[in-house]
Structure 1
Amino acid sequence: MSDKIETPPDPRRTLTEQDLVGEQLPDWRMLIDRLHGSFDTGDFVSTVKLVDAISLAAEELDHYPGLDLATRRLDVRLFSHDVGGVTSRDVALAATISELALAAGATPHPERTNVLELGLDSADEAEIRPFWAALLDYETIQAWGEIQIRDATGRRPTIWFQPTDAHDSPRQRWHLDLRIPPEVVEDRIAAAIEAGGELVDDTAAPAFWVLADPQGNRACLTTWQGRESPSTSPSSS
């Protein structure tokens, strides 16, 4: 009887949650299109040491994670940008990071991983999508049979568009405030207007500018300029 020859995994094939069921990745959760892990490290020095160890492993594998470093915590995101999803490369790096975390005495907390998405109701998403992509400096992607916009780093929420009947400009119960460096705000406003948006109010500039997409949904671009100390002035936007 001949031995079975196993085909090596295709590093460019994207994997689903179902594909990962048999993988030994107890420290990780696949949320939407990325692998997420979260580890308590004990103190900042230990966090940095773990980051250093992960960096060396990533360099050896020629595959690199997204890392969010806190005083006693390290959050990790794994994603293959060239194919737009999780691949065997991410699985291999996840297993390596788990080994490094165990050796460093870090405690995994996969139960606290999460991904926030924002859904925006619209009767014509194609009319307003360019505005939000320009305002937030997001990329436009095709995923799960729909067009979305997302932050390439995975740090900020993806936005998708919920079909709805046409309606008048909404009285919003929430809006987005986006704090950006003062030196880029004028270009960002211009990009949002070029994408179909409108500058609604700039009377509070340079503290904040109010913009709206073509259907009246509003957002504010904000900077630190033109504001008093946070401890002495009420919040505005």
Structure 2
Amino acid sequence: MTKLSGREIADGAPAGWVYMLGALHARLRTGDFPTGLALVAAIGAAAEAADHHPDLDLRYTYVDVWLASHDVGAVTGRDLRLAATISKLAEQAGVTVDPAGPVRIEMALDTPDHRKVLPFWAAVLGADQRAEEDFADEVRRDDRAVPPVWFQKSGSEEPRQRWHPDVWLDPSQVQPRIEAALAAGGTLVSDAEAPAFWVLADPEGNRMCLCTSQERQ
């Protein structure tokens, strides 16, 4: 299977599905546990028939779905096809796909030499150092028990902020988040890289980024 670009994924994904951190995500608003359980069973049967299996997280009022082709390490056409099947199953069950639901967090550590500190963070998090070209400066766990950690090149001058969170979300949710952050006393530090990411800071100057898959490889 061929790895799809961010643009190909955005163009081919069903309504409400969001591409973030190498996977296609959806939150299915079931409203109650029995509906969610029945929907998970239906998705499981469809996944078995397609011989392609998503990651599912069943909660009281929703089901989260993650789709990626593990043999390729990216989203492929089979993921888009299964996403379309899942959306159809959700529609038949009277379940909506909520684009505001999926949010992913990754942590960025600013460091002048990531090779020096990366093995330590892989060890304490029980995570794997990624060998692929796209993730050479990252550690992550496949079970998503902890957020991925990536290492951003920085200078060594002190004082400097070392950690910042990257919050990934659907592009439609960025402006409401920015407005809420400003209303809560934050500041918009930079939108120079928008729509890939926006830099915000809390009232004490601690920074974070709101990220989307737009205009990325």
* Fold shared per TM-score above 0.5: yes
Q: In structure 2, what is the Cα distance between the partners aligned to 1:52 and 1:73?
A: 14
- 3-state SS of the aligned residue for 1:39? strand
Summarize deviations over 1:163-210 as a string: whole Å, max 9, x none.
Answer: 122367989889xxxxxxxxxxxxxxxxxxxxxxxxxxxxxxxxxxxx
In the alignment, residue 125 of structure 1 is paired with which amino acid? H
Matched, 1:166 2:153: no
CA contact under 8 A between 2:110 and 2:162: conserved in structure 1?
no
- Quick one: structure 1 residues 150 and 143, their matched pair in 2 at CA, closer, same or farther if it must change by over 3 Å? farther
* 1:44-83 → structure 2 map (5 Å cutoff): 44-83=33-72
How far apart are residue 139 of structure 1 and its match? Answer: 1.7
- Quick one: structure 1 residues 17 and 172, their matched pair in 2 at CA, closer, same or farther if it must change by over 3 Å? closer
In the alignment, residue 142 of structure 2 is paired with which amino acid? A
Q: In structure 2, what is the Cα distance between the partners aligned to 1:139 and 1:113?
A: 24
Structure 1: where are the runs of 5+ without partners? 1-11, 175-237
Summarize deviations over 1:9-50 as a string: whole Å, max 9, x none.
Answer: xxx211122112432511311113100000110210111000
Q: In structure 1, what is the Cα distance between the partners aligned to 2:161 and 2:17?
A: 40
- Quick one: structure 1 residues 65 and 41, their matched pair in 2 at CA, closer, same or farther if it must change by over 3 Å? same
Name 1:227's counterpart in structure 2.
none
**Structure richer in helix, relative to its length:** 2
Q: Please, what TM-score do these two structures have when normalized by structure 2?
A: 0.68
Computed over aligned residues only, the root mean square deviation of the Cα atoms, in angstroms, reads: 2.3
* 1:1-237 → structure 2 map (5 Å cutoff): 12-23=1-12, 25-141=14-130, 142-144=132-134, 146-154=136-144, 156-166=146-156
- Quick one: structure 1 residues 173 and 155, their matched pair in 2 at CA, closer, same or farther if it must change by over 3 Å? closer
CA contact under 8 A between 2:36 and 2:60: conserved in structure 1?
yes
Name 1:225's counterpart in structure 2.
none
Q: In structure 2, what is the Cα distance between the partners aligned to 1:143 and 1:29?
A: 23
Q: In structure 1, what is the Cα distance between the partners aligned to 2:116 and 2:163?
A: 21
Q: In structure 1, what is the Cα distance between the partners aligned to 2:23 and 2:62?
A: 19
In the alignment, residue 159 of structure 1 is paired with which amino acid? V
Q: In structure 2, what is the Cα distance between the partners aligned to 1:71 and 1:144?
A: 35
Q: In structure 2, what is the Cα distance between the partners aligned to 1:72 and 1:151?
A: 26
Percent identity (aligned): 37
Q: In structure 2, what is the Cα distance between the partners aligned to 1:150 and 1:171?
A: 22
> Size of the alignment, in residue pairs?
163
Q: In structure 2, what is the Cα distance between the partners aligned to 1:49 and 1:84?
A: 29
